[in-house]
Amino acid sequence: MAFKKVKSSDRHINQLARIVGGSSSILYRKEDLLAYDCDGFTIHKALPKAVVFPKNTIEVSEVVRYCHEHNLPFLARGAGTGLSGGAIPLNEEVIISMVRMKRLLSVDLENRRAVVEPGFVNLKLTNSISDRGYYYAPDPSSQYCCTIGGNVAENAGGAHCLKYGVTTNHILGLEVVMPNGEVIEIGKNGIPDEPGYDLLGLITGSEGTLGIVTKITVRILKNPEAKQTVLAYFNHVSDGSQAVSDIVSAGIVPAALEMMDKVAIEGVEAAAYPVGHPKDIEAVLLIEVDGISAGIDEQIRQILDVCRNRNVKEVKVARDEAERGRWWANRKTGFGAMGAISPDYLVQDGVIPRSKLPEVLSRINQISNESGLRIANIFHAGDGNLHPLVLFDARKPGETQKALEAGSACLKVCADVGGTITGEHGVGIEKKEEMRFVFSDEEIKAQTDIREVFNPKNLLNAGKLFPAPGRCAEVKKEIKAAASS
Amino acid sequence: MGINELDLKQDPACSEKGLSNYLWRDHPDENKWADCVHCGMCLESCPTYEQTGQEQHSPRGRVHLIKSVAEGKLEVNEFFSDPVFACLDCRACTTACPANVDVGGLIEEARGQIRQAMPLKGWQGAVSKFVLKGIFPHPNRLNAAGSLLKFYQKSGMQKAVRQTGLIKIMPDHLVQMEAVMPEVQEPVRKKYKNEQVLKAKGKSKAEVALLTGCVMDVMFSDINEATINVLRRNGNDVIIPQNQTCCGALHVHAGDRETGRMLAKQNIEAFRDADKVIVNAAGCGCMLKEYSELFREEPEMHDKAVEFSKKVEDISKYLHETGYEKPKGEIKTRITYHDACHLAHGQNVRQEPRDILQDIPGVEMVHMPNSDRCCGSAGIYNITNPEMADAVLESKMQNVPGDVEMISMGNPGCMLQMAMGVQKYGRNQKIVHTVQLLDWAYQKEDGKERV
């Protein structure tokens, strides 16, 4: 596209436009910014100052340097599918959209790694290498559209993380633009476990508060030789969750072990990818095993036995790839499917010890009754990552607040039974306060101290991940007061 | 700021202001956007988002804007109009959406509001009025335009225009289109004017009515002819109601819902006695099936439209469901299939045309990656938004396998656009309609050579 100069009354806009290449690479009119007032977390909305679309690392670095020098708040955004509000501009940020940096830079099958730009869509990586027998393992449900850059920011998980680990286990190297515009490389040669501090681990999952990732070296895996998928229906949640525990205790490590409850089933069956789950059951399990062919049948036999011992109502093995695909599409579109039975939803992301599932579900049920809001549960049962989906209608006065409170109460339950408040969606705006369920003020302070090393001006994605320091300061005062008395 | 004090001062996710900035009747349907939870699963399906990376040019962004107007956050002005009219209305997002949000319906409703709030002025207004209102709804005028085109092609004028350089003063995209215009033949509606029923060959098992379409019958009457042949060969009596008219899809896409309603009423009446309405143009078929959307505020017409929609079927689906004779004539060719948006996403017809093609002896099907990605034709989008249409076409052509001889599809708009793509990118595929190929195979079986 031809370079077209921007003439705004705001000199910052003109300068930013100059850096990224003119009017086709910047949005700054209010009407154009509206589509950027939230991400997948829609409860909180705020307009950015501008959205810029850099094409390469140099442009990202120059934009960041400009913002740093002129004290303009800024943040990075990928596909905006995040569920905790990490890409929402709370402070009238300049949004740096990474979606035009979407190339697959190289594939190195011999060393099982690939280099991508941050705007490259997760599933496209697998699609680009599957004909050669390889794939990229982390598979968040939004993998059809979410970017790998966003996955790094949130340390995204997915259904198959039970066996293969979350994003951080698949990152070999990063190029990062620091909050002052400096460009650094971590894990340069894509060699895992470099000596020194694990900076890759620190950046991965930092929710866009420590730097902006501009190039990512990921691990790719060989397709498993064989794969089998089982669907099991249970009349009681307790039987379903016992079956989950039994499968793991039997020494089987499934690739995925998913559960949905009755309300979730109602949602997915009313939506675009129904597969005919019965309406009268309390729980469905989706179990997948993969690996070398030898032994797969034996594992399936064991899984079927476990299910039968736990009073399974019906259990079946996917007949072919097409059926398997339908089962997974039904599960992976589960969140969006809630739109079919509710105008709005709020998804939570608690982690609990597997054994506590029946107890937690019954307490969530209680929360649902008390709040008068329906709650669906979609659960990465194998690794204890629970997603209660609070269904509400924002048009009804007070209901949004009620939903937030119900969501928070669900997380409290998770924390109380020895779990935590997020497994894979990040803290963002949504769960800032709930950080207090699992961290003391001192522990939070220790973490914001780390942020200060990287992001001393706190211009980059401020107001996310940690609760406001108000109480920390108070605590300090109290400590001082106690010490001086 | 704690979660309990979350800034609800800002407008909540959905306000109670009602449909504040939509001032005309037939406004966008609140229930349609209530299904959208902003999950973003639609993003990658959208050709305009692929090109721009900008969310106001994505399905969920557009839905968000349409909702924002109702919430009073945005006015119906050019900044709203741009993203809404830049949509190809390809419906790929409807397929991708987990909650079945009817983005296409919302877009069309929003366009209706925009065109009433800000009618097209100047030459755009004049052209739109002349073409959409002055020509399409009137078969005789359309035939006359067809005759003119025929005169242009046959009289030597086409040659003259091309040779004299007169063509250089035409805009690029019109030049490209001019180059691939099919040769105009006699419309079937005119040809069979005096035939009440075109009897089935052999024993008749059903009677069907054919929508001849407006552009289809003028520019592609050979495809209508092929459709009639194929229907008759498979035991169908075919009637061509003479008082039928243009389906109105182009009008509804352009925001002229009033003319759309007028045409819909005429067609519902024209096909009143038919049990089945067979359509060979995906865009028209989709429109016919969605007539009820135009009458949300007229309950009686709405019911009629719902009943009418049940009778409408795409030719490939109809043949597939009622059975067809497998041709014995061999057509030795390598072919790939392009899913017209309004067949695949609009009517969920995907496998049927492929099965038909595969039943033709000698046909070797080659898979086209992303076959259900829009080609950029999108009704008259390639005329109104030529730059974007070109970019979308380029991306489409990259997916067309290099070693095929034909590209088959079920929509005339796509056929013209793909023909332009073939020409522009130096390819050499022949563009065919699915039923055309089936008809040729039958003809070959009967000893009549062609191709």
Q: Are A98 and A53 in contact (CB under 8 A)?
A: no
Beta bridge partners of B131: none
Total domains present in chain A: 4
Q: Which residue has the tokens 């006065």?
A: A397
Residues A231 and A217 in one domain: no
For residue B64, which residues of chain A lie inside 8 Å, CB to CB? 34-35
B227-236 residue pLDDT tens: 999 999 999 9
Report pTM: 0.90
Residue A62 lies in a domain: yes
Does the residue A371 lie in any domain? no
A35 to B77: CB separation less than 8 angstroms, yes or no = no
Residue among B12, B15, B55 whose CB faces A35 most closely: B55
Strands B312-314 and B333-337: unpaired
Residues of B in contact with A100 (CB under 8 A): 53
Six token digits for residue B80: 């709203």
Please name the amino acid found at residue B109: E
Do A181 and A289 belong to one domain? Answer: no
Nearest Cα residue to B333 out of B440, B228, B260, B412: B440
Q: What is the pLDDT of residue B339?
A: 98
Looking at CA atoms only, how far is residue A336 from chain B in angstroms?
A: 5
Q: Does B44 touch chain A (CB under 8 A)?
A: yes
CB A271 within 8 A of CB B98: yes
Give the one of A29, A40, A146 whose C-beta lies nearest to B79's C-beta.
A29
One domain for residues A248 and A284: yes
What separation in angstroms does the CA of B200 have from each of A244, A280, B190, B205, B233? 62, 50, 20, 8, 6
Q: Is A426 on the interface with B (CB under 8 A)?
A: no
∠ CA B70-B72-B77, nearest 5°, is: 85
B-chain residue closest to A120, CA distance? B44
- Here the CATH number for the domain that contains residue B225 is 3.40.50
Helix axes B221-233, B434-445, angle to 10 degrees: 60
Rg (CA), chain A: 23
Task: Tell if the CB–CB gap between B43 and A79 is shorter than 8 Å.
Answer: yes
pLDDT of residue B157: 66
For A284-313, give the secondary structure using H, E and C: EEEEEEEECCCCHHHHHHHHHHHHHHCCEE
Any CB–CB contact under 8 A between A450 and chain B? no
Interface-testing mutation among B20, B37, B348, B388, with chain A (most A C-beta atoms within 10 A): B37
- Min Cα–Cα distance to chain B from A299, Å: 32
Could you tell me the two tokens for B354? 């492929």
| Distance, CA of A380 to CA of A257 (rounded, Å) | 6
Q: Does B398 touch chain A (CB under 8 A)?
A: no
Residue B25 sits in a domain of what CATH number? 1.10.1060.10
- Tens of pLDDT along B209-230? 999 988 788 888 999 999 999 9
Per-residue pLDDT of chain A (485 residues; tens, 9 = 90+): 456 788 889 999 999 999 999 999 999 999 999 999 999 999 899 999 999 999 999 999 999 999 999 999 999 999 999 999 999 999 999 999 999 999 999 999 999 999 999 999 999 999 999 999 999 999 999 999 999 999 999 999 988 889 999 999 999 999 999 999 999 999 876 776 778 899 999 999 999 999 999 999 999 999 999 999 999 999 998 899 899 989 998 999 999 999 999 999 999 999 989 999 999 999 999 999 999 999 999 999 999 999 999 999 999 999 999 999 999 999 999 988 998 899 888 999 999 998 888 899 899 999 999 999 999 999 999 889 999 999 999 889 999 999 999 999 999 999 999 999 999 899 999 999 999 999 999 999 999 999 999 999 999 999 999 998 655 455 455 555 555 54
Q: Are residues B221 and B134 in the same domain?
A: no
In this complex, the residue of A34, A102, A467 whose CB is nearest that of residue B68 is A34
In this structure, the answer to whether residues A119 and A71 fall within a common structural domain is no
Containing H/E element for A110?
none
Among A55, A75, A97, give the residue marking a domain's end: A97
Q: Is A340 within 8 Å of chain B by CB?
A: yes
Hey, are the CB atoms on A434 and B3 less than 8 Å from each other? yes
Window 71-100 of A: residues touching B by CB (8 A cutoff) are: 79-81, 97, 99-100
Cα three-residue angle A277-A278-A279, rounded to 5 degrees? 110
Q: Are residues B165 and B201 in the same domain?
A: no
State which residue of chain B sits closest to A42, comparing Cα positions.
Answer: B13
Give me the pLDDT at residue B91, please.
96
B80 and B141: one domain? no
Give the count of Cβ contacts less than 8 A between chain A and B: 148
Q: What is the pLDDT of residue B451?
A: 47
CA distance A357 to chain B (A): 26
First to last CA, chain A: 69
The percent of residues above 70 in pLDDT, for chain A, comes to 95
pLDDT digits over B100-129, tens only?
899 999 999 999 999 998 887 776 677 677
Strands (E), A4-118: 26-27, 50-52, 74-77, 94-97, 104-108, 113-116
Find the CB nearest B64 among A34, A404, A408: A34
Residue A86: predicted pLDDT: 96
Contacts for A243 with CB less than 8 Å, ≥ 6 apart = A232, A234, A285, A306, A307, A310, A312
Q: What is the ipTM of this complex?
A: 0.90
Q: Are residues B59 and B110 in the same domain?
A: yes
> Does A145 contact B101 at a Cβ distance shorter than 8 Å?
no
The yes-or-no verdict on residue B3 having pLDDT over 60 is: no
Interchain contact B86–A (C-beta under 8 A): no
Q: Report yes or no on A358 lying in a domain.
A: no
Are A35 and B56 a contacting pair at CB < 8 A? yes
Distance from CA of A167 to the nearest CA of B (A): 20
Contacts of A376 (CB under 8 A, 6+ apart): A260, A261, A263, A264, A266, A267, A338, A345, A388, A389, A391
- Tell me, yes or no, whether B174 and B212 share the same domain: no
CB atoms B53 and A53 under 8 Å: yes
Helix, strand, coil proportions of chain A in percent (round to 5)?
40, 20, 40
Same domain, A145 and A249: no
Q: What domain range is B237 assigned to?
A: 188-320
A121: DSSP letter = B
Same domain, A212 and A109: yes
Domain end residue (candidates: A341, A366, A382) = A341
Which of B259, B285, B320 represents a domain boundary (last residue)?
B320
The backbone torsions φ and ψ at residue A168, rounded to the nearest 5 degrees and listed phi first, read -60, -25
Neighbours of A345 (CB within 10 A): 26
* Cβ contact, residue pair A338, B37, below 8 Å: yes
Q: Please report residues of A whose CB lies closer than 8 A to that of B14.
A: 343-344, 394-395
| Domain assignment of residue A114, yes or no | yes
Domain end among A188, A222, A256: A222
Residue B16's pLDDT is what? 40
| B124 contacts: CB under 8 Å, gap ≥ 6 | none
Whether residue B6 lies within 8 A of chain A, CB to CB, comes out as yes
Distance CA A416, CA A418 (A): 5
**Facing residue for B3 by CB, picked from A79, A340, A408:** A408
Q: Tell me whether residues A394 and B12 touch, CB distance under 8 A.
A: yes
Query: What DSSP designation does B400 have?
Result: S
pLDDT at residue B2, rounded to an integer: 40
Nearest Cα residue in chain B from A36: B55
Instruction: Fill in the amino acid letter for A146.
Output: C
pLDDT at B148: 67
Are B74 and A432 a contacting pair at CB < 8 A?
Answer: no
The number of C-alpha atoms within 13 Å of B21 and in the hemisphere containing its C-beta is: 18
CATH code of the domain in which A28 resides: 3.30.43.10
Q: Structurally, how many domains does chain B consist of?
A: 4
Chain B residues whose CB is inside 8 A of the A97 CB are 53-54
A334 in B contact zone (CB under 8 Å): yes
Nearest residue on chain B to A330, judged by CA atoms? B98
Does pLDDT of B450 surpass 70?
no
Nearest CA distance, A81 vs chain B (angstrom): 6
Which of A119, A344, A430 has its CB closest to that of B13?
A: A344
Is residue B7's pLDDT more than 80?
no
Q: Do A109 and A88 belong to one domain?
A: no
Q: Determine the 3-state secondary structure of A147 from DSSP.
A: strand
pLDDT in tens, B347-358: 999 999 999 999
User: pLDDT tens digits, residue range B301-329?
Assistant: 999 999 999 999 999 999 999 999 999 99
B160 in the same domain as B174: yes
Q: Could you tell me if A172 and A253 lie in one domain?
A: no
A439 touches chain B (CB under 8 A): no
Tell me which chain A residue has its CA closest to the CA of residue B77.
Answer: A31
Per DSSP, chain A holds a count of helices (H) and strands (E) of: 17, 19
Which residue is listed with tokens 């969605």?
B290
Q: Are residues B341 and B310 in the same domain?
A: no
Question: With the C-alpha atoms ordered B1, B3, B8, B13, is the resulting torsion angle positive or negative?
Answer: positive
Last residue of a domain, one of B180, B197, B220: B180
CATH at A256? 3.30.70.2190
Interchain CB distance below 8 Å, B65 and A35: yes
Residue B6, pLDDT score = 42
**Has residue B5 been placed in a domain?**
no
Question: Which residues in A lie closer than 8 A to residue B100 (C-beta atoms)?
Answer: 271-272, 340
One-letter amino acid of B383: I
Q: Do the domain assignments include residue A204?
A: yes
Q: Are A400 and A345 in contact (CB under 8 A)?
A: no
pLDDT tens-digit series, residues B161-198: 666 666 666 667 667 767 776 777 888 988 999 888 99
- Burial of residue A9 (CB within 10 Å: 0-12, 13-18, 19+) is exposed
The answer to whether A62 contacts chain B (CB < 8 Å) is no
Contacts of A146 in chain B (CB under 8 A): 40
| Alpha-carbon span A256 to A229, nearest angstrom | 9
Among left, alpha and beta (phi > 0; psi -120 to 50; other), residue B76 is: beta
For chain A, positions 292-331, list CB contacts with chain B under 8 A: none
Mean pLDDT of B252-281: 96
Answer yes or no: is pLDDT of B290 > 70. Answer: yes
Residue B64 is given by DSSP the state H
Are B69 and B6 in contact by the 8 Å Cβ rule? The answer is no
In this complex, the residue of A38, A144, A345 whose CB is nearest that of residue B44 is A144
- Token pair of B17 as six digits: 């202001």
Nearest to A378 by CA among A271, A301, A227, A466: A271
Q: Domain limits at A462?
A: 439-484
